[in-house]
Amino acid sequence: MKPNRRDFLLAATAALGLPKLALAQTGFAPLNARTANIRLLPEKYGETQIWGYNGSAPGPEIRVAQGARVQRRVINDLPDATSTHWHGIRIDNAMDGVADLTQDAIAPGSSFQYDFVAPDAGTYWYHAHNRSFEQVARGLHGALIVEEPEPIDIDRDEVLILDDWLVDPETAQIADTFGAMHDLSHAGRLGNYITTNGTYNLALPVKRHERLRLRMINAANARIFQLALDGLEGWIVALDGMPLAEPRPIDGSFVLAPAQRVDLIVDVTAETGGAGHIVQIDRDESFSQVAFEVTGDATRARRDAPRALPPNVHAMPDLAEATKLELLMQGGAMGGMMGAMMGGQMSSMRDMMQSGNFWAFNGAVGGMDGAPLAAMSRGETVRLKITNDTAFPHAMHLHGMHFHEIAPDGSLGTLRDTTLLDRGEVRDIAFVADNPGKWLLHCHMLSHAVSGMMTWIDVA
Ligand code: C2O
Ligand code: CU
């Protein structure tokens, strides 16, 4: 049972030029969250038990047309309560899938019907949102692709889900060390086995000069991927599903933080018989993350630079009238922990550690129980200054709305739903709070989210 069988089928359909929408679902197609034994590691190891949607990791690709309705019944056949979040979708709040905030967790043996419209084209994903630091790491995630109304000028569309797994090579099983204090208080749970679409060293056959759209999704709990191209030349055309106004040529490396997506349009420039690569740079070393084996000659010359993807229409923030908010991130090991205690809620280091909380927002351990960071009225512009006063990078994600990163010159920059702040970094973001409901704002290093790096915004 190959976890990426479905992706293979999709790729084959694309190559034959058959419409992918044949795979789009109507009615409440089931998404069955269950355990499964799959071949994750190489042959010489045993099979690995994962938790997967329909028993695969990644789960089935969901692909719909822009504006289409997505109807999925998540059936929980796991031993644990779960819920499903549709990351990056400007969704109806009741369908956002946040256990204990927008719905009750789905108990083992029961189900929940998700029913929403996907207003923006782009690359999104879905993942578990109850005990996500464990459930996402066990495999509960998949791609959600929303296609533009007009076809883009490419030869192939490939979804590449990057992930890392913490596995014990002796047993081939996922290390049951969820919530380990070191992961919570340092960089998060980092895996020792890196995959693309559930496969180590994924290799895809291509032809020279083929033009590929690569939709890359970082589904890892905490790993920040630094990537580069070799034998491929191309452009970044979208970030977190949102098209760039101008395709940005890739020169050097680019970064994909947890939960972020990047859409590339690349041309295969490697020679026939050779291979192009997406290269993963890990400190001073580089590895092939995905290989593109050039099995055939070009049938045409290289094309000109691609055009921008059609924009997803968002309300423009009014910076002059914006409500200003601040979020000070503190805590964690290596210096920051003491600073986080000054809020008074944590009288001692021991109290903080006993409660399993290592991080604070604005001087208090965050979560979804307390008051929201802010209560906004619908249509208000929010300008939020985020300060990372910790010794670790954090990938801050806002549910339900995309935000602009404010560029250094003060102008509205790229639209994103997840922004990476390096240690010591400050970032201003702005958005129009135009989607009513309770929206989480949290670090997508999932061990951080569960240990204090979480708050929410109420839009009424
Ligand atoms: Cu991708 Cu709150 O999550
Ligand atoms: Cu974090």
Q: Are both 95 and 200 inside the same structural domain?
A: no
Same domain for 127 and 179: no
- 403 and 336 assigned to the same domain: yes
On whether both 203 and 270 belong to a single domain, the answer is yes
Name the residues around ion ligand 2, CB cutoff 5 A.
394, 443, 445, 448
* Cα–Cα nearest to 445, from 260, 278, 227, 289: 260
CA 79 to ligand 2 center in whole angstroms: 28
In a domain, 162, yes or no: no
Full pLDDT tens readout for the chain, 460 residues: 233 333 333 333 333 333 344 444 446 899 999 999 999 999 899 999 999 999 999 999 999 999 999 999 999 999 999 999 999 999 999 999 999 999 999 999 999 999 999 999 999 999 999 999 999 999 999 999 999 999 999 999 999 999 999 999 999 999 999 999 889 999 999 999 999 999 999 999 999 999 999 999 999 999 999 999 999 999 999 999 999 999 999 999 999 999 999 999 999 999 999 999 999 999 889 999 999 999 998 888 999 999 999 999 999 999 999 999 999 999 998 755 555 454 555 555 566 667 788 999 998 888 888 899 999 999 999 999 999 999 999 999 999 999 999 998 999 999 999 999 999 999 999 999 999 999 999 999 999 999 999 999 999 9
Shared-domain flag, residues 232 and 259: yes
pLDDT score, position 348: 54
Q: Could you give the 3-state DSSP secondary structure of residue 332?
A: coil
Decide if the complex's ipTM is over 0.90.
Answer: yes
Closest ligand 1 atom to the C-alpha of 449? 2
Do 279 and 173 have their domain in common?
A: yes
Instruction: Tell whether 172 and 253 lie within a shared domain.
Output: yes
In sequence order, what are the beta bridge partners of 128?
A: 84
Shared domain for 129 and 178, answered yes or no, is no
pTM: predicted TM-score of the whole model, two decimal places = 0.92
Ligand 1 site, CB within 6 A: 85, 87, 127, 129, 259, 397, 399, 440, 442, 444
- CA dist list (Å): 394 to 66, 225, 360: 31, 13, 13
What is the distance between the alpha carbons of residues 140 and 33, in angstroms, rounded to a whole number?
7
| 140, 183, 386 from 177: Cα distances, Å | 17, 9, 31
Q: Domain end: 121, 150, 179, which one? A: 150
**Does residue 157 sit within a domain?**
no
Q: What is the CATH number of the domain that holds 292?
A: 2.60.40.420
Q: Which domain holds residue 393?
A: 319-459
Q: Which amino acid is at 334?
A: M
Q: Which atom of ligand 1 lies at the shortest distance from residue 259's CA?
A: 1
Between strands 394-398 and 437-443, the pairing is antiparallel
| Ligand nearest to the CA of residue 259, numbered in listed order | 1
Query: Could you tell me if 336 and 266 lie in one domain?
Result: no
Instruction: Locate the DSSP E strands across 9-155.
Output: 29-38, 48-53, 62-65, 69-76, 84-87, 111-117, 122-128, 141-147
In a shared domain, residues 178 and 285? yes
Query: For residue 110, what are the contacts with CB-CB under 8 A and spacing of at least 6?
Result: 76
Q: How far apart are CA 162 and CA 9, in angstroms?
A: 19
- Do 207 and 283 share a structural domain? yes
Number of domains in the chain: 3
CA distances from 13 to 16, 53, 217 (A): 5, 22, 21
Q: What are phi and psi of 105, to 5 degrees?
A: -60, 150
